[in-house]
Amino acid sequence: MQEIEILGRGGQGAVTTAYILAEAIFLEGKFSQAFPFFGVERQGSPVFGYVRISDKNSFPIQHVYKPEISVVFEKSLIKLAKGKRLISSPKTVDAQKIAIETIGKPVFGTVLLGALVKSTKVCKPKSVEKAIKKMFDCKETADKNIKAFRRGYDETTN
């Protein structure tokens, strides 16, 4: 079983990113589980999204304590990352710049998802694009996020 943590601040899309990744994994025939962790804080407080991936449909019912990978939305949250491998903005890819240019606002989960997929090969890019289309009912929003995902994938430096 593989575990991934996604760290952001409320409103940045960390939890949505976790759900998109879990759906992409599921579309490839594997089992996945996504869940958030946050307190009663307001927008701007740290938020965690977790994804578990397995070939078996059996997951522990507990918190993720030792993720293999941490995807971190901003530098101030790196100290909270527990993963052995780190994917972050702007170290891996300039996610904020790409998000503003493609989506029109600094919501850059799909950009970092592109970086994660390119760096780890956790799933196929086409699976993520299908998952994005399922997540966002509005075609325009889905198209912008797919474009952001592709740029994140293409512009990632390993």
Structure tokens at 19: 């759900």
- Predicted confidence at residue 91, as pLDDT, reads 84
All residue ranges of the chain with pLDDT < 50 are none
Contacts of 132 (CB under 8 A, 6+ apart): 20, 110, 142, 145, 146, 149
Instruction: Give pLDDT, residue 42.
Output: 64
Burial bucket for residue 129 (CB in 10 Å: 0-12, 13-18, 19+) = middle
| Domains, in order of start, for the chain | 2-154 (3.40.920.10)
Specify the pLDDT at position 146: 98
